[in-house]
């Protein structure tokens, strides 16, 4: 999940560029459950807006990912088009 960074990121969040990222590694959640969890923390599933951000996320989840943990991003198929949770279209394709 991601949130805009203020002066500092909350404990256990990782700062990158202008945002804070939280990589949840406890109980597996569905995409909808994950989004609700993020929103309960005043954030949302990540919207990847640059190749630099994509590389950061890829490199970071490599550290956390294993056969028991996977990660959701904020991309969903709406009317047969891939759309980010902020309403923007997928341009990184």
* 20 domain residue, yes or no: yes
* 45 domain residue, yes or no: yes
Say which CATH number the domain at 29 has: 3.10.100.10
* 89 domain residue, yes or no: no
Residue span of the structural domain in which 61 resides: 2-84
* 93 domain residue, yes or no: no
Exposure string for 42-69, b = 16+ CB within 10 A, e = fewer: ebbbbbbeeeebeebbeeebeeeeeeee
- Distance from C-alpha of 25 to C-alpha of 87, rounded to nearest angstrom: 27
* 92 domain residue, yes or no: no
Total number of domains in the chain: 1
Q: What is the pTM of this model?
A: 0.83
pLDDT tens column, 38-68 = 999 999 999 999 999 999 999 988 776 666 6
Cβ atoms of residues 85 and 45 within 8 Å: yes
Mean confidence (pLDDT) of the chain = 86
* 91 domain residue, yes or no: no
């Amino acid at each position: 999940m991601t949130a805009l960074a203020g002066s500092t990121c909350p404990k256990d969040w990782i700062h990158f560029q202008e945002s804070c990222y939280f990589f949840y590694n406890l109980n597996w959640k569905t995409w909808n459950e994950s989004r609700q969890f993020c929103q309960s923390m005043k954030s949302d599933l990540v919207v990847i807006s640059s190749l630099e951000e994509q590389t950061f996320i890829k490199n970071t989840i490599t550290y956390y990912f294993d056969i028991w943990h996977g990660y959701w991003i904020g991309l969903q198929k709406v009317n047969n088009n891939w759309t980010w949770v902020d309403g923007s279209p997928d341009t990184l394709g």
